[in-house]
Amino acid sequence: MRIIVHGGAGSPPDEPDDRQAVLDEAAGAGSEADDPTEAVCAAVRHLESDPRFNAGVGGAVQSDGHVRTDAGLMTDDREVGAACGMPGVEHAVDVARVVKTETPHVLLAGVHAVDLAAAYGVETGVDLLSDRTREQWADVDDPPTGDARDHAEWVRDRFGGDPEGRDDAGRRDHDTVGAVATDGDRVAAATSTGGRWLALAGRVGDVPQVGSGFYCTPGGGASATGAGEDIARVTLSRRAVQFLESGRDASAAAEAAIEEFGDHVEGTAGVIVLTPDGDAGAAYDSEAMQTSVAGDR
């Protein structure tokens, strides 16, 4: 098994060595799996459980004080599952897998996605606030208490923090996680997130959108991270895979996708790609994006 994982594109992390060690562990866990789907799920689950990353535990807090998780999973036969807007679900990638394997649908949202998770044995009701995010939410000035319009007006000047990916408390919220794996034949890609800091309650970004946060075809797979609205506007993961399909190697495909992204939108992003023969590549236009690769090509 060959696998590449990422821990998000954004500003430089405060503990890069510790985060890199966790990424290496996640990649190692994926490389020991029996098939690409289990490989990406194992890697992503590892990262969803670590509060250093914005996925699962430690995810970004929305305007009503809740963390909601999203994830998407796709294989090279274009089978897809995604789930979004889930409070209390740490392992969003497992719910995406249930949607893919147990339903005729591509995407399930909100409380119904949580109900599906519980029905298939995925843990729900998890406290997704970490010590850090709980303290940072407590420091937020005047969180909205009115109706949806109140919330919408409040988030306009607060959503996502400053251009460096930090809010006033120093929260890094671009740390979406993802993985792409191949066994030399099949390919799978998965991405998981806790969203972006101080988004409108119920906001869903690029991660569970096919072609935006994740994409996979016989030509290879991709997982994206960064400014979700901008990633969705250009379907970043789909473009990266299309560059693979046009004959570019993995690094060139990732770089071309990020260059094109920068030509069309103002946000920052990163993407990882992997071909069926194990050629791995990554590119980003943010300040930093940590990745890890495991398994022989």
The active-site residue out of 37, 124, 176, 235 is: 176
Contacts of 57 (CB under 8 A, 6+ apart): 48, 49, 50, 51, 90, 126, 128, 130
Rounded to an integer, what distance in angstroms lies between the CA atom of residue 120 and that of residue 99? 10
Supply the DSSP symbol for 250: H
Angle at 217 between CA 212 and CA 218, to 5 degrees: 160
Residue 278: burial class (beta carbons within 10 Å; 0-12, 13-18, 19+): buried
Q: Which of 173, 149, 178, 153 is nearest to 163 (CA)?
A: 173
Q: 27 is written with which tokens? A: 């990649």
The end-to-end CA distance of the chain, in Å, is 8
Annotation says 176 is catalytic: yes
Which among 177, 1, 4, 196 is positioned nearest to 96, based on CA atoms?
177
- For β-strands 80-87 and 68-75, DSSP reports them as antiparallel
Q: Which residues are catalytically annotated?
A: 176
